[in-house]
Structure 1
C-alpha cells in the first residue's frame, strides 16, 4: 500500500509543478507580495475610479469586457496573495500529493487574466479606437489609458516575476472565458438589451444584427487570444530559461510545451 502511494505521488509530481513555485519570484529571493499587493491595490483603485466615471447606469457596468478583465485582475491578485501567504506558513501539498484548490484556482485565473488583459489592450487601441466610434466611452483620458494599457502592464509584471509555469495545453482556459463573454453578448442581444445610448449592441464592432461582420470580428479575436496565450507561454519559458542560466543551478524551468514541470 505504501509503495502504491509513493508511485501515485511520483506520477502526480511529474505532471504538476512544485506547489511552492506559485509563491516564489523567478529571479531573486523576494516575496511575490512585493508586486501582487500593489497590483491588487491598483486594480481596486481603477475599478472604483471606473465606477465613479462610468458613462451609463451602474447596472450596465459589467456589460463591457474591459470591466470583466479588471475584475479578473482583482480576483487573480487576491488568490496570488493567498497562495504566497500560505506558502510562507506551511507546505501546501495536499493529501493527494496534488495542488490545493486555491493554488489550482489561482493558476486558472493567471492563465486567463494575462492573455485577456493583452487582448483587451490590443482590441481596444487597434480595433475599437480606430473605428472612430469610441469617443464617448472614454470620458477621462487618464482612466482610459489605465483601463486599456495599465492592465497589460500589471499583468506583464506578474508574468515576468512569477516562477510557476504557463502551459500550452491550458489554451482552452482563456478561450472558454472568451466564449462565456461571447454567449453573454448573444443572450443580451436577443433579450432586447442595449447599451447606455440605446443601441442594440454592447460594442459597435460586435453587433449581432450584422451576424456576418460580427462573426469575422469574433473569429479574429479568438485567434488573437489564442496567439496571446502562446506569447505568454513563450515569455514564461524564456523567463525561466534566463533565470536558470543566471543562477547556474537546476532551478526553475518552465516546460510550457510539454507535461513535465
Structure 2
C-alpha cells in the first residue's frame, strides 16, 4: 500500500511538472487553432527566404554566414514542426509511465525556446548596434526586405509566443545561449580559416572582428547577456499570457511552471 501510494504521488508530481503533449498543439484560447497563425508564418518564412536568396548581396555560398539567415531558417523549422505537432495533438499521449514527451514535441519545444529570443536578439542587435555603426549600407539592398528580415522576424515570433499554450521555463535559458555559442564558434573558425565576407573583409560582421579581440569580446559578452534577458522576458510573457488565459476562463487554465523540468 505504501509503495503504491508513493508511485501515485510521484506520478502526480511528474504530471504537474511536465506539460501534457496536447498543450503544444493548442492555443491559449481554447477555440482557436494554432494553424490559424502557424501556416501563415510558415508561408511568410519561406517567402522571405526565397526573397533573401534572390536579393543576396554576394555569392550564394556565403548566404549561411549571417545570423539573420540562421534565424530565418530557425523560424521555418520551428513553425513547420509546430504545424506537425498541432495536427498530431488530438492523438498525442505521454510516451511512457514517466510522462516523457514524444521526441518530436521535445524537438519543437527546443526550437521554440531558441527561436523566439534569438529573433528578438537579431532585431535589437541589427537596429541597435549594426545599423547605428553606419557600416552596413551594403547589407540592405532592399529596404522592405531589410525590415522583414530584421523586424518581421520578431513580430511573427511574438505572435507564436502570445498565442501558444505550452510553458516557457527559466531553466531552459541554456538552450538559446548554446545556439549563440555555436554561431560564435563558427565566426571564430571562419576567421582563422581565412574566410572573407562578399567584399573581401576578414569578418562576417564589422562589430565581430576577431582581429580586434578585446572589442569583439565586449560585444559578444553584452550580446550574451542581452540574449539571456530576452529568454527571461519570454518566460515572463508566457506566464502573463497563461494568467490572462486562466482569468478569461471559468475553469483552471494552463499551468506555466518557469522552474520545471527540461524537455
Superposition TM-score tier, normalisation by shorter sequence: over 0.9
Paired residue for 1:186? Answer: 188
Alpha carbons 1:12, 1:98 under 8 Å: kept: no
Distance between the aligned counterparts of 2:9 and 2:196, measured in 1? Answer: 57
Q: Does 1:195 find its partner at 2:161? A: no
Q: Work out which of the residue numbers 168, 172, 175 in structure 1 matches 2:174.
A: 172
**1:25-50 deviation line (CA, Å, top 9, x unaligned):** 10241110111111011000000100
**1:169-209 deviation line (CA, Å, top 9, x unaligned):** 00000000000000000000000001000000000000000
**1:237 positional shift:** 0.3
Aligned 1:46-195 pairs, distance under 5 A: 46-88=48-90, 90-96=91-97, 97-195=99-197
Instruction: Give the 3-state SS of the residue equivalent to 2:252 in structure 1.
Output: coil
**1:119-147 deviation line (CA, Å, top 9, x unaligned):** 00000000000000011000000000000
Paired residues, what number?
A: 258
Paired residue for 2:31? Answer: 29
Q: Unaligned regions of 5+ residues in structure 2, if any?
A: none
Distance between the aligned counterparts of 2:180 and 2:122, measured in 1? Answer: 11
Alpha carbons 1:208, 1:214 under 8 Å: kept: yes
Paired residue for 1:242? Answer: 244
Instruction: Give the 3-state SS of the residue equivalent to 1:208 in structure 2.
Output: coil
**1:248 positional shift:** 2.6
**1:230 positional shift:** 0.5
**1:9 positional shift:** 3.9
**1:94 positional shift:** 1.3
Distance between the aligned counterparts of 2:104 and 2:14, measured in 1? Answer: 17
The alignment's TM-score, normalised by the length of structure 2, stands at: 0.94
Distance between the aligned counterparts of 1:255 and 1:8, measured in 2? Answer: 17
Distance between the aligned counterparts of 1:98 and 1:119, measured in 2? Answer: 31
Distance between the aligned counterparts of 2:33 and 2:133, measured in 1? Answer: 43
**1:10 positional shift:** 3.4
**1:253 positional shift:** 2.4
The alignment's TM-score, normalised by the length of structure 1, stands at: 0.95
**1:251 positional shift:** 1.0
**1:6 positional shift:** 5.2
**1:249 positional shift:** 1.8
* Superposition CA RMSD, Å: 1.7
Alpha carbons 1:206, 1:217 under 8 Å: kept: yes
Paired residue for 1:216? Answer: 218
